[in-house]
Chains A and B, each alone.
Chain A
Amino acid sequence: MQSKWDIGEPEKPTINSETEQLKSELLTLNMGPQHPATHGVLRVEIWTDSEIVAHAIPHLGYLHRCMEKHAENLDYRGIIPFVDRLDYLASMSMEWGYVMAVEKMLGTEVPRRAELLRILTAELQRIASHLMAFGTYALDLGAFTPFLYAFEEREKILRLFEEVSGARLLYNYIWIGGVWNDWTDDQIARVSSFVDVMEQEAKKYHELVSLNKIFVERTSNVGVLTVEDCFTYGATGPVLRGSGYKWDLRKNKPYSLYSELEFDVPVGDGERGVVGDCWNRYIVRMREVVESIKIIRQVIDKLEPGPVMGKVPKIIKLPKGEVYVRSEAPRGEIGFHLVSEGNDSKTPYRLKVKSPCFTHTSMLPHMAPGQMVADFVASIGSIDIVLGEVDR
């Protein structure tokens, strides 16, 4: 007698053709949250067909700290330490964007020396951030040495920042109305000597990594994003410029004193691979380091002694209204939408952050289909995301 659990032989699927026989199921893989290639706590759910990625879904929120909501309960000076923690590799640029939004509503005039020092710190920060991007990108692709070289130079910048602001990563240096501390002549001299070294180092990195045949093969023709794709998703910064579109807020909508300075906007030109691939996005960052060096040299020539803090009331109360200020951070355009309801309120009504990394993360599902898993790692590295800014 047959047991009720016995369901007999499993039914064999009928095979119609050779192609259907070879078809396999999609395998779901979790890349992250603790994956070294995702640069933080990003979890990407990838559906793989053997070695080919069929679909990728980024899952966000592992580093969500409620910063935007929390800012509604803080006074305007107290928000700066939280803004620091958005993009923790480029804190100076984050601070500057927020501070510009408050200053625009307050109508504060920033002293000339303070503006120049802000440009100096922001450009040094851009070099530090791009060095980190360069080092970790090479690390993702299996080269360990460039990472050490990049950190050696980055350390010099962090040491300068520590001396001038007191912290290595989360500075709280750029304040509403100016900057916290003045740079001494000795520190400025060290910056100019660092810049000379950095120029040589940039050439070294170019020979070591950028033109290396293995690196070029790994990154060229991988993860191609056209200018149309970038416009559709709202990409900015090196990702947009890597696709060959010349757009830099420092040049196109100059803020601060950038209109007085001379520099080029590097774009991906397809020297290796095609325009818009990983190699071109990478090389835009390395060329921006050279441009930042140019800017720093001009700023040092323009520096004159003077005050570094403008006149700001002791308790900041903004008038009723709203403002949206965007600026060029190392990873793209960072925008701050600040709403104040007036009524002697010491806190903002709303602070919305437009994060470049968030828009770039949303491009991953577009880049992924059809790539190898190893190429997908190269794609994530090339858009250079920082998860503190994605999740906020």
Chain B
Amino acid sequence: MSTTVHESSSVKEYFKALYDGIYTTAKGMWITFRYVWAVKPASIEYPEVREVLPERARMRLFNDAQNCISCTQCAMACPVDCIYIASEKLPEGAEIKKTSNGQPIRLKLTQFTIDTSLCCYCGLCTTVCPTECLTHSHDYEFSQYTIDAMKYDYLAPDVVAWRDRIVKA
């Protein structure tokens, strides 16, 4: 239907095509040739040089368990259901602590796990969090050998140790 048909061209057309071919190619070559000196490289050498991420960049989730009130709003907002929360009632007469923005913690958080391998980094959970304890950190290098290792329990001591590194004052 749509094959290119090369009709027999006249001598004038032949040389016109030849001239066009040389001229336009040389023009393109000149554009690229200017890059030898005038333009600095656009790429960076990643592991040695790192870009500073923007403030709002959405990387690995981090939950500051000390400020969590177990409201489960993040788990309900999550479109892929990757947040698992369990909590129990505080024992009778226990002291009710307060979060950093003054909300009372009425439940005892027993489990807060995020399956990072399911997370789609949409940021919906962080926007509904009333105490702003669930945030996107700027960690992006967290590959693991097994898929189970992608589940982060934010009550585990090794994960809590991130807090000093991640949570801004």
B58→A166 contact, CB < 8 A: yes
CB closest residue in chain A, given B5: A221
CB closest residue in chain B, given A175: B127
- Nearest Cβ on chain B to A274's Cβ, whole angstroms: 10
A214→B21 contact, CB < 8 A: yes
- Nearest Cβ on chain B to A380's Cβ, whole angstroms: 14
Residues on B with C-beta less than 8 A from A74 are: 79
Chain A interface residue count, CB cutoff 8 Å, equals 42
B24→A224 contact, CB < 8 A: no
In the complex, per-residue mask of B111-143: 1 if CB is within 8 Å of any chain A CB, else 0:
000000000111110010000000010000000
Residues on B with C-beta less than 8 A from A192 are: none
- In the complex, whether A208 has a CB less than 8 A from a CB of chain B is yes
- In the complex, whether B157 has a CB less than 8 A from a CB of chain A is no
Residues on B with C-beta less than 8 A from A213 are: 17, 20-21, 23-25
Q: A78-B79, A166-B57, A166-B136 are in contact. Are A209 and B124 (CB under 8 A)?
A: no
Most buried by A among B2, B4, B5, B31: B2
Q: A78-B77, A78-B79, A166-B123 are in contact. Are A209 and B4 (CB under 8 A)?
A: no
A211→B2 contact, CB < 8 A: no
B124→A78 contact, CB < 8 A: yes
Residues on A with C-beta less than 8 A from B23 are: 213
How many Å lie between the Cα of A369 and that of B2 in the bound state? 8
- Nearest Cβ on chain B to A12's Cβ, whole angstroms: 34
- In the complex, whether B56 has a CB less than 8 A from a CB of chain A is yes
How many Å lie between the Cα of A163 and that of B57 in the bound state? 7
- In the complex, whether B168 has a CB less than 8 A from a CB of chain A is no
- In the complex, whether A370 has a CB less than 8 A from a CB of chain B is yes
B2→A224 contact, CB < 8 A: yes
Q: A209-B28, A213-B17, A375-B4 are in contact. Are A166 and B79 (CB under 8 A)?
A: no
B28→A208 contact, CB < 8 A: yes
Contact-residue size bin, chain B (C-beta under 8 Å from the other chain): 20 to 34
B28→A367 contact, CB < 8 A: no
How many Å lie between the Cα of A261 and that of B17 in the bound state? 42
CB closest residue in chain A, given B136: A166
CB interface residues, A 160-211, toward B, < 8 Å: 162-167, 170, 172, 180-181, 204, 207-209, 211
Residues on B with C-beta less than 8 A from A159 are: 54
Residues on B with C-beta less than 8 A from A211 are: 24
Residues on A with C-beta less than 8 A from B136 are: 166
A172→B54 contact, CB < 8 A: no
A81→B31 contact, CB < 8 A: no
In the complex, per-residue mask of B33-66: 1 if CB is within 8 Å of any chain A CB, else 0:
0000000001000000000011111100000000
B2→A371 contact, CB < 8 A: yes
CB closest residue in chain B, given A85: B120
Chain B's interface: helix, strand, loop or mixed, by majority? loop
Q: A79-B79, A208-B31 are in contact. Are A165 and B56 (CB under 8 A)?
A: yes
A221→B2 contact, CB < 8 A: yes
Residues on A with C-beta less than 8 A from B54 are: 159, 162-163, 166
Most buried by A among B17, B54, B55, B57: B54
- Nearest Cβ on chain B to A204's Cβ, whole angstroms: 6
How many Å lie between the Cα of A152 and that of B35 in the bound state? 13
Q: A81-B120, A207-B27 are in contact. Are A166 and B56 (CB under 8 A)?
A: yes
A207→B31 contact, CB < 8 A: yes
How many Å lie between the Cα of A172 and that of B58 in the bound state? 11
B2→A223 contact, CB < 8 A: yes
A170→B56 contact, CB < 8 A: no
- In the complex, whether B101 has a CB less than 8 A from a CB of chain A is no
Residues on A with C-beta less than 8 A from B121 are: 167, 170
A204→B31 contact, CB < 8 A: yes
Residues on B with C-beta less than 8 A from A212 are: 24-25, 28
Residues on A with C-beta less than 8 A from B124 are: 77-78, 81, 172
- In the complex, whether A344 has a CB less than 8 A from a CB of chain B is no
CB closest residue in chain A, given B58: A166
Q: A81-B124, A166-B58, A213-B21 are in contact. Are A370 and B3 (CB under 8 A)?
A: yes
Residues of B within 8 A of A (CB): 1-5, 17, 20-21, 23-25, 27-28, 31-32, 42, 53-58, 77-79, 120-124, 127, 136
What are the 8 closest A-B residue pairs judged by CB atoms, nearest first? A78-B79, A81-B122, A166-B56, A163-B54, A213-B21, A166-B58, A370-B1, A172-B122
A-B contact pairs, 14 of them (CB 8 A): A52-B3, A78-B78, A78-B124, A79-B79, A81-B120, A82-B79, A84-B122, A172-B123, A214-B24, A221-B4, A221-B5, A223-B2, A369-B1, A372-B3
- Beyond the given A82-B79, A371-B2, A375-B4, could you list 19 further A-B residue pairs with CB under 8 A, ordered by the A residue number? A74-B79, A77-B124, A155-B42, A164-B56, A166-B58, A170-B122, A172-B122, A180-B127, A181-B56, A204-B31, A207-B28, A207-B31, A212-B28, A213-B20, A214-B21, A222-B2, A367-B1, A370-B3, A372-B3
